[in-house]
Structure 1
Amino acid sequence: MATLHNKFGAIIQDGISEGQRFALSSDLWRYASTSTHCDLLITMQFSNNDVENKTSVMWLVQQMREHEPNLRIEVRYHRLNSCYAIYLTADYKSLLKGAELCHIKKAIKSKFGGGMRDFSFEEAQFFAGVEGKNTFLSPMERTIIVKQMVDMMRAGKGGLTLKLPRRTISFTEGTAIVPRLISMNVVQNVSALHNTEFLKHLQQKWVFSIEEQPIEQVKDYFGTEIAMYFAWLGHMTTALWFPSLLGILMWFLGGFKYKNNPGDKQDLYQLISDICFVLFAFFNCIWSTIYLEWWKRVQAELAFKWGTYDATQDSYLQDPRPAFQGDYLAPNPVSGRMEPFYPAWKHTVVRYVITYPITCLCVVGMFLAMLAIFTVQDLADFYFGDSFFFHWICYLPMIFYALMIVISDKIYRRLALILNDLENYRTDDEYEDFLITKIVLFQFVTAFGSLFYIAFVLRDMKRLQEVIRGFEVTDRVEMFECISVPGLQKLVRFSPMIISGKIFFLNGKIS
């Protein structure tokens, strides 16, 4: 009994120590000293076996030196969180060659016509500022290039093997090394070090200021994708002033008097209220149309200014995703370069045999759960609707429904990622397009299925108000974006479709 008690106490103590270590390490990165010569940081997963830690980090460093000999590599041991970190830096020549492969847009010198175009290493002298080794490429662009180098390191002919004390990790021919190590919990994270001074400057000029957003500085630091999103957010906030002011005016004219002056003039105030609602709905139709056209002009101007207006490419000209796995290596039909090949018929089989049935099952299951909760709501209204002490029970089904939507959304997002990875798409565009299709389909049913059913089938306005109120309790106003996995290039053209507080970015294309 004493031995069991000691073991149980040791387990609890180990759990407390592990929790303290993770709590400490999760906050340390904000205060970590940065290196001005680091373009990318790779942190290794913590392990109690020090031999395994050293073996994995040295094996990865050796692979990097073989695949990218021009990378400057520095290995450090972080004592506070007990893990190894690899600091990567590329020389200027390698960065310029990588900028061409990553299709990074740079400005042309005015004497050669100006404008923005994809960087070309052979024509580097035509680009403005190419002489400045420290200024031509922004830290964000340097990180993108180095991460592309790391992600595209693949196992050669015959594959690779990483032998650790407790397991062996195999890499088939053409498998991306770093993404495979991430999936096997050998590599913890691949990230960039922040510039704390510039972040403080952005905080003062952007977060703590009421002036116009510094979109250009946001673009230079975070990239065009994030800058375009915040440009839309600021534009949307400005445009919402018009329906907001009109809505307040309509409420005072049509709603306030009707609620506070019942009696002989009730019919007149009811008529005024109905007219206000109709006019407000008509205004929203016109406003939403004007807003969409207005935003298209603004986003086109920003995309043209940033050189990402016409950035569509043939899929065969794009590099395969780092996580893309092929059955064997085959020449690219356009470039002729050897790369992983995955038969198209396998995509079809996975979609129609696995993905589509599971997606339909989730959607139908969510709809049936919605009908079951409505049945419970009817029973609660019947038994407790007139009760003084238990009337609050009538609100529980809708609150439970709202919570169920939030939980099911999170579960389905993970499931959608698993299914998308199983489908094994070659390019990032294909991967994101099909992922968005899965998520939007489920989100549409969970967000609007109940509203359409109550409004147009049951025609119960009181219940419709209760459902919307339940959504408000759980903060159901969300934004869905076609933004990216880390390492992708930037979102350039998209059209927002606004439906009842939910924003979908459609037609998003990655350059």
Structure 2
Amino acid sequence: MDDVRDKMIGFGDDEEEIIEEIGINRKPTIPSLRQRNSQLNALESMHHNEEQEKMDEIRSVLKDRRKGKAKKGVAFDAEMVPSGGSGDGLRKRGGGLLSSSSGATGGEDGQETFGDSYMVVEFSEEASSESVQWIIDKIRGKKVDGGAELLVRKEPLTKETQSLVLHISATQMKFLEIADDMGFMKRSKTGIIRNFNVACLDDFFYDENMALEDILTPADRQIIIKYALENIRAAEHEHHIPGTKIQLYHGQSIIQAAQHKEIITNFYSLHCKPRLRKLRHVWIKPTKHQPIDEIRDYFGESVGMYFSFLGFYTYALVVPTVLGLLQMVLSEETETVPF
């Protein structure tokens, strides 16, 4: 019996050597639910720590560049930095958000990493909890799982309405990654507007006083969040929104489908009241030029271009207005023209 046992042990050792020599992958064991949750929590913690280390490294390089320790025009390593309109519905940036609901890339309470809220998603009161939770998981989920990796916070329910209201934001690194993915156009240090490339981040510091957070304006961040939300698309195996009969096809925008079927009732960006107050203080003075750069940074390129043209058009009308007044005053005979 001992001889048989020794032979079996020897055969097991030979099998291990053969498997290693051939390179056959071992059949994975199925982890328990508790082990899976523990692994997911560990991965999220590692992802957050790695992202924070990358941001600290970027800031360190920028700090050295401004002090003259780093060579001017040095491009960031691709391993250091991974590649990749406001309207009538704008509302006041609200407070009183719950910190218990954080994003997939945020910390445990989301208090330190959430930052400003750039987009609001309101769900219908009739929306099922299953469909709402599935959409939230898509917003917070990992990119490899079809998610957007955004940060989510929830407003407390009020007596006036029982609809769920979510505030959406992202980490600084995620903003840069999405801007790179969508081919965002930004001004470079040479004055040329070109596609934003996070691997060449140093090229987009056209002002020595710029900080890392100044590369993307508030209007840019709203556009990026809106793009990321609308780019959450149904996978090949996802044929409907859970808890509903809404059919999905492969590649369809989940947020747009939920809006069309009125699961999501409102989807809008937010105003920042302190920034608006500061902008108004320098804008409404008639003796000064319009702060076009500040208007563009806050409202976006199209609104900034509109007010720039409006200012030019107003100045252009000064000369014909003066000539018309002179003609009216100096004219000897006044004739009434019937209309």
Letter in 1 for 2:277: K
Of 204, 215, 219, the residue aligned with 1:140 is 219
Change (3 A) 1:147 1:34: farther
Of 232, 253, 258, the residue aligned with 1:181 is 258
Does the 8 Å CA contact 2:124/2:262 hold for their aligned counterparts?
no
Does the 8 Å CA contact 1:34/1:194 hold for their aligned counterparts?
no
Task: Give the distance between the partners of 2:118 and 2:130, measured in 1 at CA.
Answer: 21
Task: Give the distance between the partners of 1:28 and 1:225, measured in 2 at CA.
Answer: 16
Does the 8 Å CA contact 2:90/2:268 hold for their aligned counterparts?
no
2:197 matched to 1:117? Answer: no
Letter in 1 for 2:138: Q
The aligned counterpart of 2:309 is: 232
The aligned counterpart of 1:87 is: 167
Change (3 A) 1:185 1:258: same
Unaligned stretches of 5+ in structure 1?
1-25, 260-272, 274-461, 466-511
State the TM-score, normalizing by the size of structure 2. 0.58
Of 100, 121, 131, the residue aligned with 1:43 is 121
Q: How does 1:193-204 map to 2 (within 5 A)?
A: 193-204=270-281
Q: How does 1:350-429 map to 2 (within 5 A)?
A: none
Unaligned stretches of 5+ in structure 2?
1-87, 98-113
2:116 matched to 1:62? Answer: no
Higher helix share: 1
Does the 8 Å CA contact 1:34/1:195 hold for their aligned counterparts?
no
Task: Give the distance between the partners of 1:177 and 1:248, measured in 2 at CA.
Answer: 60
Letter in 1 for 2:227: Q
Question: C-alpha displacement at 1:229, in angstroms?
Answer: 0.5
2:335 matched to 1:221? Answer: no
The aligned counterpart of 2:288 is: 211
Superposed CA RMSD: 3.2
Does the 8 Å CA contact 2:148/2:228 hold for their aligned counterparts?
no
2:68 matched to 1:30? Answer: no
Number of residues paired by the alignment? Answer: 229
Question: C-alpha displacement at 1:214, in angstroms?
Answer: 0.6
Does the 8 Å CA contact 1:53/1:84 hold for their aligned counterparts?
no
State the TM-score, normalizing by the size of structure 1. 0.40
Does the 8 Å CA contact 2:240/2:246 hold for their aligned counterparts?
yes
Question: C-alpha displacement at 1:123, in angstroms?
Answer: 1.9
Letter in 2 for 1:77: P
3-state secondary structure, aligned to 1:147: helix
Question: C-alpha displacement at 1:91, in angstroms?
Answer: 2.1
Does the 8 Å CA contact 1:138/1:221 hold for their aligned counterparts?
yes
3-state secondary structure, aligned to 1:170: coil
Does the 8 Å CA contact 2:90/2:271 hold for their aligned counterparts?
no
Task: Give the distance between the partners of 2:219 and 2:89, measured in 1 at CA.
Answer: 23
Question: C-alpha displacement at 1:115, in angstroms?
Answer: 4.1
Task: Give the distance between the partners of 1:204 and 1:175, measured in 2 at CA.
Answer: 44
Does the 8 Å CA contact 2:91/2:271 hold for their aligned counterparts?
no
Of 230, 240, 262, the residue aligned with 1:161 is 240
Task: Give the distance between the partners of 1:90 and 1:28, measured in 2 at CA.
Answer: 19
Letter in 1 for 2:312: H
Which has the bigger relative contact order, CA under 8 A and spacing at least 6?
2
Question: C-alpha displacement at 1:223, in angstroms?
Answer: 1.5
Identity score, percent: 22
Task: Give the distance between the partners of 1:175 and 1:257, measured in 2 at CA.
Answer: 68
Does the 8 Å CA contact 2:230/2:253 hold for their aligned counterparts?
yes
Task: Give the distance between the partners of 1:211 and 1:189, measured in 2 at CA.
Answer: 38
Task: Give the distance between the partners of 1:137 and 1:231, measured in 2 at CA.
Answer: 21
Task: Give the distance between the partners of 2:333 and 2:266, measured in 1 at CA.
Answer: 56
The aligned counterpart of 1:171 is: 248
Task: Give the distance between the partners of 2:319 and 2:169, measured in 1 at CA.
Answer: 50
